[in-house]
A and B are shown apart, each in its own frame.
Chain A
Amino acid sequence: MSKMLLALLILIMSFSSFAEIELTDQLSISGFGSTSLTKSNNQTAVIMNRVITDEVCWDCDTTFGLQLDYFNDAFKVSTQLVKRPQDKWSAPELEWAYVGYNVGEVEFRAGRLRIPIFLASEYYYVSHAYNYARPPEELYNSILGLTAYNGASVVWNVELFNEYQLAIMPFIGFNDTSLVDAGDKLDVELDIDSMSGINFLLSGEYYRWNLSYFTADFSQTFQFTNAKPDVPYFELSFLNDSVELYSLGLEYEFDSLLLTAERQIGNLRSTWYASAAYRLNKFVPYIQYGENRAKITSVSTYDDKSGSSFVMGLRYDLLYNVSLNIEWQKFKSFGEQRGSFVETPNKPEADLYTLMFNFVF
């Protein structure tokens, strides 16, 4: 199926730019996608939902999304269907489907929505929109692998001192179930009972500050398949858990230099990353370092995810709407925990090499 995406990529390259395709004045369609050639040097897979091992993988990162928007003055309907890295092409995920209504500078939304916690949370699957191949693993996979919720939000846009823009977005979510791919032998089913939070996004000419609070009550079931030779399937359930976190993210542009840092503190984990990228014509060399420190939880002695990674990469803009990433990422797990591996590895380090194509239309 990666061949299908490559064919799509060639088609997309024939478009001159990212410009939504207007079916009518009020109806438009747009899309995005990524595909990669990637390989690590560790038998134990890294990065949940992508599950990259020491075998060359053509479709561990494959993502394709289509977005349909309908605008009618203050009224808006939007849907986004995404074949995420963990999905089969035949079973994409409805990442959002909502109706929105504007009253002055306040927008009300209801339906399936993207969780707005970190700087890139709402465009998590759109690799063309950020410099690195994947969002920083330590931070963006720290909220149980969740990216969307069923519920409602309000966005209040406030202009400050005629120069700054502040968007305040409280949100609330209801029952939802999702499945996290943690390798061949393990899936984790998450049942969200309720969630809520608030996001503040302050924008200036060349910077963004993002501040969030998020809390959710959930149950999770670990589903093991062929984990032991004589046990084809068993599961472990942990009921009535909760996650609570605060996050702060900053992004600053100084001419060609882009600096980004985010920090998350919660009851399960404490994570952060910092990155720097410098634009040289069509090339953007970048580096990034991230850490995840797990805390003692009711699920296990530790939540098990302490680790770090260092990324060094180069982005190249092939066209206005097509980019290429070449990236090396060094993962380390701390104290015999699993870090960014999907299970505790025999060897606590991995070098991950990636060549990724991204496009939008």
Chain B
Amino acid sequence: MRCLLFFILNFLVSLQVSATDLYAVFTLSSDFEPLTKSKVIMLFRGKTKYLQGKKIELSDWPQNNNIRHEFYQELLGKDLAQMNAYWARLSFSGKARPPKEIDNGSVESLVEWLAVKRFRIGYAPIDLLPANANVLYIVKKEKP
């Protein structure tokens, strides 16, 4: 009975962990090491253009795609209007170029764009990641 309870408890915990892993920040090159949360926040707020000494390019999902909305809400606690204002600030002061918006809401388009240059970084739901993804950071739901 104790073994059964232990098994059920473990199963529930594993379910909870998988349910809270939402998105992966990833690249297709092996040039980068895993990132801290702080570094990922700095990247997606446009506060740094460099990663481990290399100038990087970021991608984004289309504006009306729920993936984009949820990613920024979970990683930064910001909505899309706030993110637009941030990137307006950076773009119109010449400090950074906004992330490249992929043509349509598909992982295939994202992977195609990432594959062109080694220092390109994107994000996607974990269950849609390509097999050759180098995962740099996992965005988890903080309040399950």
Contacts and interface: CB of A to CB of B under 8 A. Distances in A.
B64 interface: yes
Interface string A1-18: 000000000000000111
Contact of B81 (A69, A100, A123, A317): A317
B125 interface: no
Interface residues of B, number: 32
A35 interface: no
B63 interface: yes
A98 B36 CA distance: 35
B50 A32 contact: no
B50 A157 contact: yes
Contacts of B98: 18-20
A96 interface: yes
Contact of A203 (B47, B85, B93, B94): B47
Interface in B78-112: 80-82, 84-89, 91-95, 97-98, 101
B77 interface: yes
Contacts of A104: 53
Interface residues of A, number: 46
Contact of B50 (A20, A128, A159): A159
A129 B101 contact: no
A162 B48 contact: no
Contact of B82 (A65, A157, A279): A279
A321 B87 CA distance: 11
B55 interface: yes
Contacts of B36: 162-163
Contacts of A323: 81, 85
A165 B101 contact: no
Nearest to A98: B94
Interface of A: 16-20, 28, 30, 32, 65, 67, 69, 71, 78, 80, 96, 98, 100, 102, 104-105, 109, 114, 120, 122-123, 125-126, 128-130, 157, 159, 162-163, 165, 203, 205, 255, 279, 282, 317, 319-321, 323, 360
17 contacts: A17-B80, A28-B97, A32-B88, A71-B97, A80-B92, A96-B94, A102-B55, A123-B88, A123-B89, A123-B93, A126-B89, A129-B85, A163-B39, A165-B48, A320-B63, A320-B80, A323-B85
